[in-house]
Amino acid sequence: MLFIGEKKAVARRSFGKQPLLTLILLLAAWGGSARYEQCSAAATSTSTSASGTGASASHNSDIEKRVLDFLAAGKQADAEMLLQHEIAQVPVIQQAIGFLNNGEPTRGLSLAKANSAKFQEAQRILFLYGACLRSRFDVYQARHVFLVTYDRNTPTGICALFVLHLDSLDRDPAKHAEALAVLKDLNTLVEQNPDDVVIRWMLAVECRTWKQNAVGVENFKRILESWQPGPVLVHQTYANLLDDLGRSDEALIERKKAVEMEPSGWSYDGLANTLANLKRYPESNEAHATAVKLNPVNSSHLANWASHLNDQGKFPEAINKAKQAIELDKKNTRAWCTWGKVLEALGNREDALEKYKSGLAINPSDAWFQKKVAELEYDKSK
């Protein structure tokens, strides 16, 4: 059975080299660009009904309606379970995606090509499942679902192609201009298909990835005009964007909805972050404690808590949480950063330098770590 993992638990494995190489080759075959004007005029069609004929098409349409009803009603987990069940009914599809997940792209794509009719019939079901995965920021699995979903002729297939292109850029700052061009194309696709809420959802999610916060907020508002109460990950990501825009009072409303819909580590972690932004620290600490209790092996939850304890001047507690985060994941740069900040605030600049160096070793291109290491090394040399 395919599995949807909690979003932060999969974040560090979301950009495996083998799948990324596969995608680069695929996009090279596409001509190196997913420009909208190269796509078929069929992309302007508002019809996104399931492919196939007879009973299978009718069944897939019924499943799509049930999934969309679940999403609109705020029952994303139920929608995902239904999609998983449907995909499991077609072993060849599960097998192909399994090959891709296991780093065997040639076998997976060859199997999909040899059984193209089955994949075409299931395109909309696969797209909806890929969208749910992508909304949870499980880029790794979503990529493989979209790889067997995309085409150049339907709004569904073209949306999958745009998401693939954007995610292949791996959030590289040097590719930002290219990403903005593809986002523009994806926005055009949304405008041509205004009734397809899932395509708009993918645009909003990619706006979060590429820090187009204001555009993302407007699209999430439009989504919630169509879906009430809407999927939990709509509220979660909407809140992230609002926080980034300094609108944490509004974000808090969305956080509370997310926690109510899906009380888990990541939803409580988001609530804690927003409460900390509002300097409601006792409530933030309580939410952080709940996040860690629900998912004690998630390094990010501990690192976030450490950062907010530092903001409160609770230095021993902050160091303790940072250490716990690093014990779980030695590559957690936020934990190294917070540990260094605490030591620096306590006047221990030499040890702080070592923590900053540890962070820089993990991410040598990080400008903040570069600046801190240079600054403290200069002071040390005087």
Q: pLDDT by residue (tens digit) across 83-99?
A: 999 999 999 999 999 99
- Output the pLDDT for position 43: 52
Report the percentage of the chain scoring pLDDT > 70. 86
How many Å apart are CA 32 and CA 34, to the nearest integer?
A: 7
Asked whether residue 46 carries a pLDDT value surpassing 80, the answer given is: no
Maximum CA extent, the chain = 80
How many Å apart are CA 130 and CA 152, to the nearest integer?
A: 17
Contact 167, 27 (CB under 8 A): no
Kindly report which listed range (39-43, 238-242, 332-336) carries the lowest average pLDDT score: 39-43
Q: Name the band, by pLDDT with cuts 50, 70 and 90, for residue 53.
A: low
Would you list the DSSP string of 20-79? HHHHHHHHHHTTS---GGGS-GGGG----PPPS-HHHHHHHHHHHHHHHHHHHTT-HHHH
Asked whether residue 8 carries a pLDDT value surpassing 60, the answer given is: no
Closest among 63, 162, 78 to 121, alpha carbons compared: 63
Tokens at 61, concatenated: 């349409």
How many Å apart are CA 275 and CA 287, to the nearest integer?
A: 9
- Output the pLDDT for position 172: 87
- Output the pLDDT for position 1: 43
| Preceding amide of 231 cis, omega within 30 | no
Q: Name the band, by pLDDT with cuts 50, 70 and 90, for residue 100.
A: very high
Map 133-201 to HEC letters. Answer: HHHCCCHHHHHHHHHCCCCCCCHHHHHHHHHHHHHHCCCCHHHHHHHHHHHHHHHHHHHHCCCCHHHHH
- Output the pLDDT for position 23: 52
What domains are defined for the chain? 1-210 (no CATH), 231-296 (1.25.40.10), 299-382 (1.25.40.10)
- Output the pLDDT for position 180: 97
Helices and strands in the chain, H and E counts: 22, 0
Provide the 3-class DSSP secondary structure of residue 343: helix
Kindly report which listed range (53-67, 115-129, 313-327, 354-368) carries the lowest average pLDDT score: 53-67
Asked whether residue 298 carries a pLDDT value surpassing 90, the answer given is: yes
Asked whether residue 366 carries a pLDDT value surpassing 70, the answer given is: yes
